[in-house]
Amino acid sequence: MPARLEDLPNIGKSLAADLRSAGIRVPQDLLAKDMRVLFAELVPVMGHRHDPCVFYTLLAVRHYLQHAEALPWWKFTAIGKEMLGKD
């Protein structure tokens, strides 16, 4: 298990800082979160309605934490759109 958020695939310095502002301090914190809820919690942190790609990134990270398989965030576009109810 990576020790820092920046050590996770698809997570850079900016998104790691946003996650910390939303109360996510270490990668293990992500395992207990519903990614849809976390995505909504990031809206005030990021200061605007953020891009759905952020949600797809969260799904990719969750996949990595559960299966130890690093995949690019765009592999989660279809499932992410379905989960968010978008076409």
pTM for this structure? 0.92
pLDDT (tens digit per residue) in 50-79: 789 999 999 999 999 999 999 999 999 999
C-alpha 86/C-alpha 68 separation (Å) is: 28
pLDDT (tens digit per residue) in 20-40: 999 999 999 999 999 999 999
Q: Which of 22, 24, 21 is nearest to 8 (CA)?
A: 24
